Structure 1
């Protein structure tokens, strides 16, 4: 069972036993996060005049990562989404911590690569300033001076919506081919909306990857960009699970097993088989009497 593209039962307690394994899944989560942060930050810091918004670059990178690695790892690449899908019952709890650690390390590896590249440049590049410009912040570090309460609220809502898009686009009855584009597009739209507020976070791994290489204020404000996305994803996952349980309960109540008005096809089939066997036995007996 694929951990993201199909609905896992709520009683699932382990990672996909038929999949590539927890270690391989974690490595692919790190690789996908590396691609996501590398592509998104590359446009944000190196080529802001490329004619493509940073949010769109992050969305395209996410779609590519899901299409390339999602079949094996699940394609989460975001600690908040990982936690939200576990709460929704679509991912077992055992791989959550390894996946989150892998996602953070993958994002840090991408930022570290940029740091090395900038440091090797013959000109004096203000590396810390570039990372600070791409970091997430609130209050005086918000480009439009949004206060902490506003940033917290919008990040919770955005993370809940992104998690809902992931849950809705990866259902059992939907096409797997469309999921990367739906998730990537949703991510791009939400980040573009958030850009003037806090530089667009939603993903704690992305926020950590920039904050640890930026000015000290970014690390001091990093807690909010973990708390808000995780909270929003948990809310979305809990609502999804409650809705699923209510739907299943309503379906079970509408078709009770012992309803006298509903024909029992199992008993009917069994009775037909028994009747056929009895009739055949009588014919054999009659044939034997006729030959004597």
Structure 2
């Protein structure tokens, strides 16, 4: 692209306006910080709801005081909306290694930028669960009980709320991550998407995914979220973590390459 500026400065007459350069975009540090804080908000909202509010016992009239699966799904959807509108304009609002890799596969994000984004997302998620562990530790025995229960980690068999096996977890993570990434790619498309509503649509999609799949494997579709909880979830959570890194990435890459081939062609 040629430089639109003249080779030599020309004095402007009083009726002319000197051209101004477009403002520079966010710095690399700013985009990585936005991914850190966006992922922090996502994991903080989701795991706080799961550990502090989902099962809060019953009131005097016998009604549940917890928010249950519906409340947890709503919490993560709202966290996505908040993060998308607060930090999305800076970094694009991925907040999820699977989304970052899916967008790269779709040709919508440079592969060279994926490592930095993923590192920031993992650190943001880990910071969020560390804050949750710190809060919970103010109550005697809370941390030990949360750890023994898996710390809302993803898993199958004993770590599945509904007792589902590894096969169900694999299918869920591939299919529902692909769904999420396809929605992200579609709603943020430069010519066919609607950026004004993208954060809301993505947040509702994430809430829908959690409503459908929490009983199966506690819903990952986000390796940064899975890593963040497995850190505090004990041996079983760490032993199962590989699946919630590998299979969301598989689903994301399938969605990225498929969307690119079907709807955007193969032109780079």
Normalised-by-shorter TM-score class: 0.7 to 0.9
SS of 1:162's equivalent in the other structure is helix
- Structure of greater Rg: 1
Runs of 4 or more, structure 1, over 4 Å off, are none
- Equivalents in 1 of 2:144, 2:200: separation in Å? 33
Aligned match of 2:231: 212
**Does residue 155 in structure 1 map to residue 161 in structure 2?**
no
Q: Does 1:179 align with 2:188?
A: no
| Aligned partner (choices 94, 114, 119) of residue 132 of structure 2 | 114
Q: 1:43 pairs with 43, 46, 49, which one?
A: 49
In the alignment, the residues of structure 1 paired with residue 248 and residue 25 of structure 2 have an alpha-carbon distance, to the nearest angstrom, of: 28
How far off is 1:191 after superposition? 1.2
> In the aligned structure 2, how far is the partner of 1:213 from the partner of 1:88?
34
Q: Cα deviations across residues 234-285 of structure 1 (Å, max 9, x unaligned)?
A: 0000011112453879xxxxxxxxxxxxxxxxxxxxxxxxxxxxxxxxxxxx
Partner of 1:272: none
**2:244, 2:266 → 1: CA distance?**
33
1:189 maps to which of 185, 208, 212:
208
- Structure 1 gap ranges (5+): 1-16, 250-292
Q: Deviations over 1:177-201 (max 9, x none)?
A: 1100110000110111111100111
Task: Note the aligned Cα RMSD (angstroms).
Answer: 2.0
Structure 2 CA distance for aligned equivalents of residues 178 and 193 of structure 1: 23
1:224 equivalent in alignment to 2:243 = yes
Q: Could you tell me how far apart the structure 1 residues matched to 2:267 and 2:233 are?
A: 48
**How much has 1:93 moved relative to structure 2?**
1.1
Aligned residues: 232
State the distance in 2 between where 1:183 and 1:165 align.
7
2:183 aligned with 1:165: yes
Q: What TM-score, normalized to structure 2?
A: 0.81
Which residue in the other structure is 2:87 paired with? 69
Distance 1:66 1:128 in 2: 33
Gaps of 5+ in 2: 1-22, 55-65
Secondary structure, aligned partner of 2:265: helix
> Is 1:80–1:204's contact at 8 Å kept on the other side of the alignment?
yes
- Partners of 2:48 and 2:141 lie apart in 1 by 18
